[in-house]
Chains A and B, each alone.
Chain A
Amino acid sequence: ELKVEQNPLFLSMQEGKNYTIYCNYSTTSDRLYWYRQDPGKSLESLFVLLSNGAVKQEGRLMASLDTKARLSTLHITAAVHDLSATYFCASGTSYGKLTFGQGTILTVHP
């Protein structure tokens, strides 16, 4: 059974600081997705990583994928309050099934 584990599960950051969320998955997969969820809202796609060594950046967020280590990271640079949300990673199969991690609740405070 595929397992996806994120850490930390809770992250409290000061504005302007940097931090990384880690996502480990248990079986071979070359598709890794990151989503954002605001309270009471649905999931918004952030990044799709499809090959070993893939790196994508959007604003203050950068995601990377290491398929050999079965590890993806989401790096936050100079955090701002608007980034406060829950972030999920999900590992995908070749036919589209996603297995999600538990989510990381990020709170950015002044």
Chain B
Amino acid sequence: EAGVAQSPRYKIIEKRQSVAFWCNPISGHATLYWYQQILGQGPKLLIQFQNNGVVDDSQLPKDRFSAERLKGVDSTLKIQPAKLEDSAVYLCASSSLRATGTGVRSYEQYFGPGTRLTVT
């Protein structure tokens, strides 16, 4: 089974420029997540999609960040304009709803390799 694919792997831009990241989730996974991981910290959820609808975007800086998931498969995350503090690794993850023997549903997430963004 192919994993979560992301591109590009690295990107260097100047502040106030725009940048876009692409993610292709594991086939059949309905839920897709974008995380921001600043150096030395844990990942922070930016946005969660269920199919092509947004479930949670409460931590997405909507004045400069946007994301879409057309047709419920691939997704793009855009930053416009970028700031210095946006330097981070942007991780995409996907999951499928899995029933367990205990009756509790699991959303085990599988992460892509990430895109390392440097804003200068």
CB-CB under 8 A for A50 and B45, given A94-B105, A97-B56: no
Chain A residues positioned under 8 Å from B100 (CB to CB): 50
A100/B43 in contact, CB under 8 A: yes
**Number of contacts between A and B (CB, 8 Å)?**
66
Would you list which residues of chain A between 42 and 81 have a CB under 8 Å from chain B? 42-45, 48, 50-51
- On chain B, the number of residues with a Cβ less than 8 Å from chain A's Cβ atoms is 29
Q: Which one, A31, A35, A44, A103, contacts B106 given CB within 8 A? A: A31
Contact A43 B111 (CB under 8 A): yes
Distance of A109 from chain B, by nearest CB (Å): 21
B97: chain A residues at CB < 8 Å are 96
6 residue pairs, one from A and one from B, having the closest CB atoms: A100-B42, A96-B107, A50-B104, A43-B111, A42-B111, A51-B102
Give the residues in chain B near A44, CB-CB below 8 Å. Answer: 111
Assess the B45–A95 pair: CB atoms within 8 A. Answer: no
Closest-by-CB residue of A relative to B93 is A43
Let me know if B42 and A97 touch, CB within 8 A: no
Name the one of A41, A45, A92, A101 contacting B42, with C-beta atoms under 8 angstroms: A101
Please measure, in the bound complex, the distance between the C-alpha atom of A84 and the C-alpha atom of B41, giving whole angstroms: 17
